[in-house]
Copies of this chain bind each other. A is one copy, B any other.
């Protein structure tokens, strides 16, 4: 069997844990879990309210998890639900002023952490790594959506 240390999932986990070590401490100081921050971060990045389904897909959270996370954030006054007039089944979420303020207070500290990572690893090298991670994701999605794997048998 492929050695434990040479496992791709482990390599990805190891790298992510090393990176998240700093970020988790920052988020804990602001009373946010990693998953809650993923939602807040996505909303802070968007100009418009985002539908539950889209949030779930982009944050890799299951719908029931997201429902609870949004309920929690809503109770804390950080996000607000909004009905979609055109489709009453759907709900969109957006940050409140408090939610925006929280995101804006975390952002600069997040950038400081990011800067130390770039300093330790190299900015160009980090960009290249991110590009390859995205390419891997794209390649696997492409593979999953093409049943006959075009080009697999040259």
Which A residues form the contact surface with B (CB < 8 A)?
1-4, 6-21, 23, 38, 41-42, 44-45, 58, 60, 103-104, 107, 110-111, 114, 116-117, 119-121, 125-126, 128-130, 132-137, 139-144, 149, 152
Q: Are B120 and A143 in contact (CB under 8 A)?
A: yes
Other-chain residue from B17, B20, B121, B133 in contact with A135 (beta carbon distance below 8 A): B121
Other-chain residue from B4, B12, B21 in contact with A45 (beta carbon distance below 8 A): B4
Q: Are B8 and A130 in contact (CB under 8 A)?
A: yes
Q: Are B1 and A9 in contact (CB under 8 A)?
A: no
Task: Give the nearest-CB partner of A3 in chain B.
Answer: B45
Interface of A is mostly: helix
Q: Are B139 and A120 in contact (CB under 8 A)?
A: yes
A95 CB, min distance to chain B CBs, angstroms: 12
